[in-house]
Structure 1
Amino acid sequence: MKRKLIFGMNATLDGYIAATGVDIGWSGPPSGELFGRWLDQELASELTLYGRRLWETMSAFWPTGDQQPGATPAEMEFARNWRDTPKVVFSSTVDKVDWNTRLVTGDAVTEIARLKARGGGPMTIGGATLAGAAARAGLIDEYVLVTHPVLVGGGTPFFTALDSWVNLNLVETRTYPGGVVLTRYETRR
């Protein structure tokens, strides 16, 4: 059985994962409840796939996230899990990766399809460009949007242009503090 590929990120109400200038300040620190949801997803994932920008963001903080002053128990667990979970970074410009990570410089879609076909537990994918390529190839099985009540007017879209429609089934909705809403959809095959 093929493993499931999940694309989930924070997004603005107008559909951006980063405002112009790669600004993610609009998302602010997540509530403890929302952070717990992200932690649960990370703990369930057997492999994480990153594009370059998201890799640079995550690897700048999480290797020592459990050692930061005031780190919560959930943040400590996330940092430990982040270091231990196998990761693949897709980039032609990154030259070195650490923390149980493998670098792929070749065709991302071919490698993602190969990883899915191997079977196993769920994989998560992050980064708009990488996830967009996987979506166009029909490789994403689940979309998780955590929508924040803010409009930024432009930036990096959650969804990139597709070659054809993707029909989805809504499988979960949940509201978090501050008016943040999670919606989870499975791809209808």
Structure 2
Amino acid sequence: MRRLTFGMNLSLDGYINAPDGDLGWGVPSDELFQWWSDRVGATGTALYGRKLWEAMSSHWPTADQRPGATPAEVEFARRWREMPKVVFSSTTSAVDWNARVVTGDAVAEISRLKADDGGPLDIASATLAAAAMRAGLIDEYAVVTHPVLVGGGTPFFATLDSWVNLTLMETRTFPGGVVLTRYETRR
């Protein structure tokens, strides 16, 4: 069974973006950017919702060709293109860069992917992760908390019907007061 992790940057008050969708508060330090790049390099398949897919696919496919691209950006772009991706959307019909679209039942497809052979699965979408949380499919949470209060936006955690007990696996502090906490779901 493949392991499913939900990890994203979030504000201290629990949002992955500000009310207007702004992500400017979450610019990573070089060390945090490398941590995210290493996660992408270790991911067997990434699971994206439409909005995050549009943001990522508008930048990373050619980011390594832009003037002034850093070696870390070049590495991330290469890893991102090579990583298999599944985009869950009812409105997107065509994707590229080693991705495919799923328009049907997200929970059924995530369950199927977990049962398949392959490397770890990462969800990179709060809305998609909410469905997986409610279905009890998430094995690990990688919470990267930035020291900012944005006052609203898209919450990292979904409203759940019952408690989910977690075990702390790791804590790490990055420059700028950013804190990673990794938790495993207790079953």
Q: Normalising to structure 1: TM-score of the pair?
A: 0.97
SS of 1:7's equivalent in the other structure is strand
Q: 1:156 aligned to 2:154?
A: yes
Aligned length: 187
**Residue number in structure 2 paired with 1:46:** 44
**Residue number in structure 2 paired with 1:94:** 92
**Residue number in structure 2 paired with 1:31:** 29
CA RMSD of aligned residues (A): 0.8
CA distance in 2 between counterparts of 1:180 and 1:161 reads 25
**Residue number in structure 2 paired with 1:107:** 105
**Residue number in structure 2 paired with 1:118:** 116
* Structure 1 residue 55, shift from structure 2 partner: 0.3
**One-letter code aligned to 1:92:** S
* Structure 1 residue 64, shift from structure 2 partner: 0.5
* Structure 1 residue 156, shift from structure 2 partner: 0.3
CA distance in 1 between counterparts of 2:166 and 2:123 reads 18
Residues 38-80 of structure 1 show CA distances to partners (whole Å, capped at 9, x for unaligned) of: 0111111010100011101100100001112222212111101
CA distance in 2 between counterparts of 1:68 and 1:158 reads 31
**Residue number in structure 2 paired with 1:133:** 131
Residues 142-182 of structure 1 show CA distances to partners (whole Å, capped at 9, x for unaligned) of: 10011000001111000011111111111110111111111
* Structure 1 residue 119, shift from structure 2 partner: 2.9
SS of 1:16's equivalent in the other structure is coil
CA distance in 1 between counterparts of 2:90 and 2:133 reads 20
**Residue number in structure 1 paired with 2:2:** 3
SS of 2:17's equivalent in the other structure is strand
Q: State the identity as a percent.
A: 71
* Structure 1 residue 120, shift from structure 2 partner: 2.1
**One-letter code aligned to 1:138:** G
Stretches of 4+ aligned residues off by more than 2 angstroms = none
CA distance in 1 between counterparts of 2:44 and 2:178 reads 27
CA distance in 1 between counterparts of 2:174 and 2:140 reads 20
**1:165-184 alignment runs, 5 A limit:** 165-184=163-182
CA distance in 2 between counterparts of 1:71 and 1:95 reads 30
CA distance in 2 between counterparts of 1:132 and 1:65 reads 30
SS of 1:114's equivalent in the other structure is helix
CA distance in 1 between counterparts of 2:117 and 2:156 reads 27
CA distance in 1 between counterparts of 2:170 and 2:38 reads 15
**One-letter code aligned to 1:52:** R
> Structure 2: which 5+ runs fail to align?
none
**One-letter code aligned to 1:73:** P
CA distance in 1 between counterparts of 2:161 and 2:65 reads 44
